[in-house]
Each structure stands twice: as structure tokens, then as C-alpha cells.
Amino acid sequence: MLGERVPSLPRQNAVESAPHKRVEPLRVEEVRDLAAFDALEMEWNALVKRVDDQVFYRHEFVRCWIEHFAPGAKLRILAARNASGGLAAVLGLQEEQGHQYGVPVRQLSSLTNKHSCRFDLIAEEPKRAAVAFLSHLLGDPSWEVLRLSDVPEGGAAWELLHAAKGAGMPWGAWPSARSPYLVLPSTVAAWTKGRGNAKPLRRRRRRLEEKGRVEVERVAGIEGLGSKLEEAFALEQSGWKAQEGTAIAQAVHRRGFYTGLARTAAERGWLGLYFLRLDSRPIAFQYGLEYAGRYLAMKPGYDEALSEVSPGHLLTENLIQDCIGRGLGELDLLGDDAPYKREWTEQTRQHHWLFIYRDTWMGQTLQRSKFRWAPVAKRMVGRWVRRR
């Protein structure tokens, strides 16, 4: 490309595990259709299990996301194989036309949106995989920015940023979700001791029990799941999310994703759909997954007509007690930080959007506009507003 300086990346075969023993470079393949992606399922999941066993990185989760949120995507999934042909790393990407401050940008972006929760490079040797993938992508002039969304702090994908930085490429990191999480003790008694909201919730629970029979239900299996999901979707749509147009049931792709994911999770023993019921009527729910010792709280909802007794908090209290009883070690509240989540914990997990730009005039300009000029303009406007 005219005006592009080809960055110098470390040679893949420069890594040695023993004197005079050269490690063969990783062989990078691109997966561009669903059939080829589906063929990777067993190898993909085995790699996730070995490297960072999170449900969001599993093939089934990514497949469900693609099917409902990006059915027509131009897939550019990178897969790296070692000398013996084993799958050593994967990076789920798609090619799309984006915009940055109104300027059209050809970008490679992660297979993510706000419903995918978390994303990362999955690699046995992240540094080596990052060099291999970035070297491969530099041979393709069709993109101007590589964007990875919601990478956890300290995740393997940061090695891509380090490789780009070492090669002199424009880059940047932008904070995204700061997700609260709670490390669970081994007993309910240990969790209850010293908890600040215990007494207020006891009072609210008594007030709720005065209205009728209160029950907690956990749905984990496939039988009757469709009707249970419809109850949850209807309850969510009865509140403020419907006014903002963000309720699951208000969009075919959202309904399809959460329905398909729930069915897959139920078949594999991951589903944890909880309801708080008043005289059999659902007044709060928590849609989540139970995986690898964690409960992952993806979507909550409650009856806003009963907000004075905090049905969502009451259900969360029951959910935590059940998770402890089931031997889980963490409740991950996912998504953005919010006051209602801070009722339960002060611990958070920071995520970032990572950006790598080609070393061209356009790439340098895009990087400066996002990480230099825009922040300066924002600070100047803030000072002007405060002075008014």
C-alpha cells in the first residue's frame, strides 16, 4: 500500500526451547465460512479447556452469537497450528465497514457485541500466537484497524497490542465494562456474617411474604424451557427496558440468541435460570449460566410494580445462597458497573477495547483522532461547561 511502512515483527522461529533446537513457526489459517468453523468445534473447545476455560470462549457460544447477531458476517477467524498440526491458537474476527468519528473505516473486529460479555485471544503461547497472527494480517492490505472488544485486563489479546507496539504500529486501549464480581465463601454463614444489606432485605422479604406465597425456582433442564423463557422475556419487557427498546423480546436476533443459548446450555448442564415467584407468578428472574465453578449472571428482570420490596435483590440473595450450596466459587455479575450490583460486592473486573492501526497516514490519523484529539476536545468541553 502506498505510504505504508512494513513493521518489523519478531521472527516466529526465533523462540527456542533448548539450545540449538528451533521451534517451528505457527501455521496460520483463515476460517471464512460456518462449515469450516463448525469443523473446528472439538479442537476449539479442547483448546479453550486447556488455556482459559470460560463459556464465552467456547465454540457453542460463539456459534450461537454468529447465528443470531452476525448471520451474514464476512468471517475472518484466525487459527494457528503447530508443527504437528495441533490447534494452538484462535482469534475470532469479522471483516466489516465501520466508522470512526464519521470517517468510513475498513476494520477487522472481534465477534462481539454487548451480549457476548467477554472476548480474548485463545492461545497456548499468547506471545508467539500474537506475532504469528499480526504477521499474517500485515500481509493483507484490506483493513485499516483491528478492533477487539471487551478484553479482560491481563487477557492474552494484550499480547497483540504489545507486538504492534514493538513493531512501531499505532495502537490504543479504551476502557469498556467494569464488571462487578463476588468471590463466594464455602458456607452461607460465612457470607452472611457482616453483610450490610441483610437486615433491610429481611424486612422486605417479610413485607413480600405478607402479600402471598413466596417461592424460588431454578430451571436447569430442557423440559418446559420454552414456556419458562417466555415468562422471563415477558417480565423483562414489562419494565423500563421496553421503553428503551432493549428488552430481549423486542428484537428477533436477541430473542433467538438467548433462546438458542439457553437450549444449548440446558443440554450441556450449564443453565441456571432462577425465578422469584409470588403465588406462582414470576416477579423476578435471573438468566445465567453455571460453568467452571462460576455463576455468570447475564440478564436480570423484575416486576417494577413491586420495587418497594426489591424483588431483584431478594432473588439475588437466594441465588447466592444456592450457588454457595452448590459449591460454586464466584458470582460474576458481568456487564457494566451499576449501583444495584455494588449492593453485593466492591470487586470489579476491568475490560478494554483494543485497537491496532496499520502504519499508514490513514492509520496514524485514525489513532490520533481517537486517542489524542478526541480526549483533548472532551476535556476542553468539560472545562467550558464547568465554567458556565
Name the phi and psi angles at 234, rounded to 5: -65, -40
Sheet holding 214-219, edge to edge: 74-75, 93-100, 103-110, 145-152, 348-357, 171-183, 330-332, 294-302, 281-291, 271-278, 214-219
Residue 222's pLDDT band (cuts 50, 70, 90): very high
Q: Over the Cα atoms of the chain, what is R_g?
A: 23
Distances (CA, A) of 144 to 209, 246, 325: 59, 31, 50
> Is residue 205 very low, low, confident or very high in pLDDT (cuts 50, 70, 90)?
very high
Instruction: Give the pLDDT band of residue 84 (cuts 50, 70, 90).
Output: very high
Give the dihedral of Cα atoms 121, 124, 128, 129; nearest 10 deg: -40
Instruction: Say what the pLDDT of residue 241 is.
Output: 85
Looking at residues 74-97, what average pLDDT do you find? 97
Architecture of domain 185-328: 3-Layer(aba) Sandwich (3.40)
> Using CA atoms, how far apart are residues 278 and 41, in angstroms rounded to an integer?
42
Model confidence over 137-147: pLDDT tens digits? 999 999 999 99
What does the mean pLDDT of the chain come to? 91
Cβ contacts of 221-225, under 8 Å, gap ≥ 24: 221/266, 221/271, 222/263, 222/266, 222/267, 225/262, 225/263, 225/266, 225/271, 225/273
Question: What pLDDT is stored for residue 19 in this prediction?
Answer: 53
> What pLDDT, on a 0 to 100 scale, did the predictor assign at position 260?
98
Joined together, the cell numbers standing for residue 35 give 462449515
The amino acid at residue 67 is E
Closest C-alpha among 288, 306, 291, 302 to residue 340: 302
DSSP string, 132-168: HHHHHHHT-TT-SEEEEEEEETT-TTHHHHHHHHHTT
Q: What is the mean pLDDT of residues 107-123?
A: 97
The mean pLDDT of 361-367, rounded to a whole number, is 91
Instruction: Report whether pLDDT(102) > 90.
Output: no
Q: Report whether CATH 3.40.630.30 matches the domain 27-176+351-385.
A: yes
* pLDDT at position 240: 81
pLDDT of 18 > 90? The answer is no
Predicted local confidence at residue 385, as pLDDT: 35
Task: Give the cell for residue 180.
Answer: 462487578
pLDDT surpasses 50 at 318: yes
pLDDT at 243: 82
Nearest to 12 by CA among 109, 117, 104, 130: 130
Parallel, antiparallel, or unpaired for β 93-100 and 214-219? unpaired
Q: What is the pLDDT of residue 8?
A: 62
Enclosing H/E stretch for 268:
helix 252-268
Please report, for the chain, the start and end positions of each structural domain, with discontinuous segments joined by +.
27-176+351-385, 185-328
